[in-house]
């Protein structure tokens, strides 16, 4: 997998590769890189946090994987997220036929600043491996807020109230069933907020996919 860090550098740690390391990853990172689909205990924790089925989870956040997530989110290159999504699709079974992938949106201001939406890039990579449809504009973020990275579950739920909406287009019918795609699962508050607004429009959220879990 090539995440586009640059030729001759490990995409796990970013350190220079020696000529015979042709896989794009140095031996220590290859040895430490998580395997999919991961442990049942981690999957169960994700199910408890989100309150839904897990259709994909890459890894727990730790120093080495945190660097990968940070680059995928802030590196300015959507190809990194797409490559990670395609990697996840090789280790997780595809959702049932007809299920649509819906990425959690950024507010337009943050989208402009980053140049792309990381969950959308992840969803596009998953879609190439699974053969699913992606609807990147189904959800929209109505409010621009500061980062909630260190907030508690209750604080997140309060802050996210009224944050998301469903973009309705008379030319396109809403999907019946979707899987939400996000970069990091922390408390599950973002997932539940999106699930609530979609459910109010008759769209069933059958599960979620996350690159990482904190």
CATH code for position 164 = 3.40.50
24/43 same-domain check: no
Give yes or no: residues 51 and 140 share one domain. yes
The whole-angstrom separation of Cα 52 and Cα 148 is 22
Cα separation values, 64 from 34, 72, 107, 150, Å: 11, 13, 28, 20
Q: pTM for the whole thing?
A: 0.84
The band of 154, judged by pLDDT with boundaries at 50, 70 and 90, is low
Mean pLDDT of 171-191: 92
**In the predicted model, what is the mean pLDDT of the chain?**
85
Q: Please give the pLDDT value at position 4.
A: 47
Q: CA-CA distance, 69 to 80, in Å (whole number)? A: 9
Looking at residue 95, its pLDDT comes to 96
Question: Does 8 share its domain with 57?
Answer: no
pLDDT confidence bin for 17, thresholds 50/70/90:
confident
8 and 61 inside one domain: no
pLDDT for residue 158? 57
Any idea which of 33-42, 70-79, 139-148, 196-205 has the lowest mean pLDDT?
Answer: 139-148
Residues linked to residue 60 through DSSP beta bridges, in sequence order: 213
Query: Percentage of the chain with pLDDT > 90?
Result: 51
50 versus 65: the higher-pLDDT residue is: 50
Q: Say whether both 97 and 14 belong to one domain.
A: no
Q: Are residues 27 and 104 in the same domain?
A: no
Specify the higher pLDDT residue, 37 or 120: 120
> Is residue 97 pLDDT above 90, yes or no?
yes
Instruction: Please count the structural domains in the chain.
Output: 2
Residue 208 pLDDT greater than 90, yes or no: yes
Rounded Cα distance, 33 and 13, in Å: 11
CB 91 within 8 A of CB 35: yes
How many residues in total does the chain contain? 214
Higher pLDDT, 181 or 153: 181
Verify that 102 and 1 share a domain, yes or no: no
The sign of the torsion formed by the CA atoms of 197, 199, 200, 201 equals positive
Maximum Cα–Cα distance for the chain, whole Å?
55
Q: In the chain, pLDDT over 70 holds for what percent of residues?
A: 83
Task: Give the structural domain span for 17.
Answer: 1-33
- Read off the pLDDT of each residue in 65-81 and give the average, rounded to a whole number: 83
Where is average pLDDT lowest: 12-21, 27-36, 88-97? 12-21
Same domain for 91 and 126, yes or no, is: yes
Q: What's the pLDDT at 5?
A: 46
Instruction: Label residue 145 by pLDDT band (50, 70, 90).
Output: low
CA distances from 129 to 35, 125, 163, 180, 184 (A): 17, 7, 31, 16, 20
For position 173, what pLDDT does the model report? 84
């Amino acid at each position: 997998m090539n995440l586009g860090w640059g030729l001759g550098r490990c995409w796990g740690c970013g350190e220079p590769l020696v000529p015979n390391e042709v896989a794009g990853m140095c031996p220590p990172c290859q040895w430490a890189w998580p395997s999919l689909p991961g442990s049942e205990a981690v999957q169960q924790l994700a199910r408890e946090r989100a309150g839904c089925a897990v259709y994909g989870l890459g890894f727990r956040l730790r120093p080495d994987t945190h660097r990968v997530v940070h680059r995928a989110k802030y590196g300015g290159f959507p190809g990194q997220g797409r490559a990670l999504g395609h990697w996840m699709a090789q280790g997780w079974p595809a959702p049932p036929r007809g299920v649509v992938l819906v990425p959690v949106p950024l507010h337009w201001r943050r989208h402009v600043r980053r140049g792309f939406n990381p969950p959308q890039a992840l969803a596009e990579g998953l879609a190439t491996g699974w053969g699913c449809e992606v609807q990147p504009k189904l959800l929209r973020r109505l409010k621009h807020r500061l980062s909630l990275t260190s907030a508690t579950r209750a604080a997140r739920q309060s802050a996210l109230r009224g944050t998301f909406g469903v973009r309705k287009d008379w030319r396109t019918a809403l999907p019946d069933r979707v899987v939400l795609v996000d970069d990091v699962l922390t408390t599950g508050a973002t997932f539940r907020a999106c699930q609530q607004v979609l459910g109010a429009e008759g769209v069933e959220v059958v599960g979620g996919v996350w690159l990482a879990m904190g």
